[in-house]
Amino acid sequence: MRSRTLSDDPLQRVLLVVGLLAEAVEGAGEGDPGCLLASYCYEKDLMTPPVRRILGQALGGWRKRFGAALREAAAVHPPRAPVDFDLLADHSNAVIEGAFIMARVLGRKGVVAAHLREFRRYLELLFEG
């Protein structure tokens, strides 16, 4: 993970992941924003049991990795409020997927990156105050 090479502080690594993701989405070009995972979810005929299992594994993998990173950050920077780290990791996915939907509906470039930056600010407030 690139963030590990950029910082020794676990909170800074979490913030870097979200910030770098915002940069990547913003620099993705002019194409129609979207997510392959969401595309499969929208198409009833594509959501077969094997596809559902694969997508569930992808979401579970993100929850495990990002949740672990959040726990590491909390060990050094205790959050200002009680946190369910798995739910917070899932929330990051909800922010991303919801932002892709908003970008498509509104036809506005930059929506996904803006929501990721807002989620990053939320994490800063939660962990740093």
Encoded amino acid at 111, one letter: V
Instruction: State which fold the 2-127 domain adopts.
Output: Tetracycline Repressor; domain 2 (1.10.357)
pTM comes to: 0.84
What are the domain boundaries of the chain? Answer: 2-127
Six token digits for residue 98: 């919801």
* Residue whose C-alpha is closest to residue 33's, from 92, 94, 95, 109: 109
* Residue whose C-alpha is closest to residue 115's, from 38, 36, 26: 26
pLDDT value, residue 55: 85
Distance of alpha carbon 69 from alpha carbon 65, whole angstroms: 6
Q: What are the pLDDT tens digits along the chain (129 aa)?
A: 555 666 889 999 999 999 999 999 887 765 555 665 666 566 666 778 888 898 889 899 999 999 999 999 999 999 999 999 999 999 999 999 889 888 888 988 899 999 999 999 999 999 986
pLDDT value, residue 43: 67
Three-state SS letters, 13-61 = HHHHHHHHHHHHHHCCCCCCCCCHHHHHHHCHHHCCHHHHHHHHHHHHH
Distance of alpha carbon 73 from alpha carbon 3, whole angstroms: 13
Distance of alpha carbon 98 from alpha carbon 67, whole angstroms: 19
Spatial CB neighbours of 78, under 8 Å, sequence gap ≥ 6: 127
